[in-house]
Amino acid sequence: MAGILVVDDERGYREELASLFSLEGYEVAAAGSGSEAIEIGVYERPEVLVADWMLKGQIHGLHVAEVLRMVRPDIRAVLITGFSSRDLREQADRQQVSDFVEKPFDQDRILGAVTKALQDEPPKTSSCSVAVVEVGSDHAIRYANSKARGMFAETLAGSGAESLERVLATTSLNDLAAVEDRWVRVAVRGRRPLTWLARARARGPGGRRLMVLLDMEQQHCQHYPSVGMLLGLNIPAHTHWPFGGRALIVDREPLVRRMFVTAFEHLGCTCHAAATAQEALQLYLADDGISVTILDYDVAGEGTAQWLQTQRGIRPCTLIGTSAVERGAEFAALGVEHFLPKPFTVGDVVEMLTRQTEQLQ
């Protein structure tokens, strides 16, 4: 029977789903966070991932799907959410999520989603295709994804290589002692001179080690956040999100929303996006972890005052107004202290919030 990895930070949901799938005969593993899901998933390599989108910490359900797909490209994903915005559905489609299940749901709905996922065509190859191998303490290759097998084909050992001892030069095997601390250049036993970059997660159960290999044309991939998540690294950023909690960007332009969601996540802040005032309030109600809202005046227009009153009635939040024309005075009259004229950057947002934090200290 297929293997399923259940990821939900609500213990009740997690245990209920794990029990349900077990009773149906599936092999089930469960995780309470994105990082734990990756730690389990890279070695278990389940056929189906069932993950809540909004998880505590910086790694959400779509991150988990993206990372595990680097290890096992054909993994199917079912995404669970308390509220599905249009942007989230579009993002899930780009990530080739098989099904989208909204809470609350009944058993037939979630079981049907898993059945559908297993029957679906495998996802197309991820845009972030890197070689991933699992090796034992004796350098034996216990698993290699298709990208790794393709790279092995360039070596004397061939695509069916069973040990790194046949793939790498002896001197490079000795260098592997440092791959858990940094990226290491390794020489390859090839028909022509070859050099790869290698880095590994901290050793897993039984001394297993998950390793990422990059050819020299892929050097830039070492800086990808998804590769860092796969390796269990804390990705350094030039600028860090200075607040706890999450952000909500409310803007009519899809490109603006996508750009800011990506930029915020690079800073370590999960970001919601909404195209309408009504959708923004639904997201705000669904996630009490939103601490900063960036609102384009044109979204609510004349109804901005009422929108702000409704949001404030739900709970306090740092508000930043924005517009392509000068509306600082109008926002100030509505009690919104912060205004950023368009175009602005995430760095501008961080600088504004950092300044506010320093003033409050």
Number of domains composing the chain: 3
Same domain flag for 86 and 47 = yes
What's the pLDDT score for residue 140? 95
- 236 lies in a domain? no
What's the pLDDT score for residue 151? 96
Asked if 66 and 125 count as a contact pair (C-beta separation under 8 A), the reply is no
pLDDT in tens, 14-62: 999 999 999 999 999 999 999 999 999 999 999 999 999 988 777 889 9
Rounded alpha-carbon distances, angstroms, from residue 191 to 124, 152, 156, 234, 339: 31, 11, 6, 37, 61
Q: Token pair of 315, please?
A: 């709970």
- 239 lies in a domain? no
pLDDT at 238 over 60: no
Q: Name the domain boundary from 231, 264, 282.
A: 231
What's the pLDDT score for residue 359? 72
- 241 lies in a domain? no
Strand order across the beta sheet in which 76-81 lies:
27-31, 3-7, 48-52, 76-81, 99-102
What's the pLDDT score for residue 113? 96
CATH number of the domain enclosing 147: 3.30.450.20
Same domain flag for 349 and 253 = yes
Q: Is 48 exposed, middle or buried (0-12, 13-18, 19+ CB in 10 A)?
A: buried
Q: Name the domain boundary from 191, 207, 231.
A: 231
What's the pLDDT score for residue 268? 80
Domain range for residue 70? 3-119
- 214 lies in a domain? yes
pLDDT at 237 over 70: no
- 238 lies in a domain? no
Same domain flag for 115 and 7 = yes
Confidence grade of residue 239 (pLDDT, cut at 50, 70, 90): low
User: Which residue in 169, 146, 145, 147 sits closest to 157, CA to CA?
Assistant: 169
Phi-psi region of 254 (alpha: psi -120 to 50; beta: other; left: phi over 0): alpha
CATH number of the domain enclosing 32: 3.40.50.2300
- Maximum Cα interatomic distance, the chain, rounded to a whole number of Å: 72
Kindly state the average pLDDT of the residues 318-345.
93
What's the pLDDT score for residue 14? 94
Phi-psi region of 52 (alpha: psi -120 to 50; beta: other; left: phi over 0): beta
